[in-house]
Amino acid sequence: MGGIRVNVVGDVVTVVSEDVRRGHSGTRDRSGQYPGPATTTVTSQLAELAEFSVVADPCGARQVVGLRLPDDVPQPGPALLVLHHGLRRLRGDYGPRSVHLPGTAPGGTHGYSEAFGAKVRFGSRSAVLRVPAGVLSGQAERSGLAWRVRNALSDRLGVRSTALADVARVIALQPRTIQRALADEGLSFAEILDCVRRERAHCLLTGTELPLSVIATHLDFAEPAVLSRCVRRWWGHTAATHRRQIHEVTPRPPASGHQ
């Protein structure tokens, strides 16, 4: 039966598919202990898809780890995408933090960001998919605090203030406490707000015929020009193009009546 081989070199844990030879999992926690069978299940199934190493978060977040590919992988982008889809199949919408890829992005990063559902940065030394540590350890896939912040922002966007201080009062935490806890998760308040705005913008652009000035107000933007800049950053094209593209690929209902 297929399993994993665990090679520990310093702080790097390499997981390679082979026959099961050990009774512990493929990653260690910060005390050097192996967390248990849940990690074995996730890493062993991922190891059937691609060779990778579990490394400390390259951005320094305490509750995030990196899945790093060997440097000689010829197409690191598709290889990381295979791991991403494998994690989605095993753990659901696990919340990837970001993707780091070597080289440059042919045609821009927007297609990559759409595929991974996370920010994609090129020019890195190694190919790394940053994921919450709980995805591998068997803990909750999503941060409870992040969801509380997200839900509060979603409820308030376009209706009430989305400032950090006001959201902090809603969820009964100090602003600095929120910032520190989110940083440990590899997140920031501004990133969550940007994500909520992006999803709301997509719904309003593709599901309504509202003018940009009204949509900008719903997103709590000062003027339509800010919305236009964000749309270009999010999707790499104009709001009108985004609206048209979605309508073009959406199948129309069959015409009623008798043949």
CATH architecture, domain defined by 144-249:
Orthogonal Bundle (1.10)
Mean pLDDT of 114-119: 89
Task: Provide, rounded to the nearest whole percent, the portion of the chain with pLDDT above 90.
Answer: 56
Contacts of the segment 2-8: beta carbons below 8 A, 24+ positions apart: 2/44, 2/48, 3/44, 4/40, 4/43, 4/44, 4/47
Mean pLDDT of 210-234: 95
Cβ distance 227 to 205 under 8 Å? Answer: no
Structure token digits, residue 114: 């759409």
Burial of 54 (0-12, 13-18, 19+ CB in 10 A): buried
* φ, ψ for residue 134, nearest 5 deg: -65, -20
In this predicted model, what pLDDT tens digit does every residue of 122-165 receive, in sequence order? 999 999 999 998 888 765 445 688 989 999 999 999 999 999 99
- Predicted local distance difference test score (pLDDT) of residue 245: 79
Mean pLDDT of 224-237: 92
- pLDDT band at residue 250 under the 50/70/90 scheme: low
- State the Cα torsion 106-108-111-113 to the nearest 10°: 120
- Predicted local distance difference test score (pLDDT) of residue 181: 93
In this predicted model, what pLDDT tens digit does every residue of 12-62 receive, in sequence order? 444 333 333 333 334 444 434 334 444 457 888 898 999 999 999 999 998
Domain ranges of the chain: 2-137, 144-249
Q: Whole-prediction pTM value?
A: 0.70
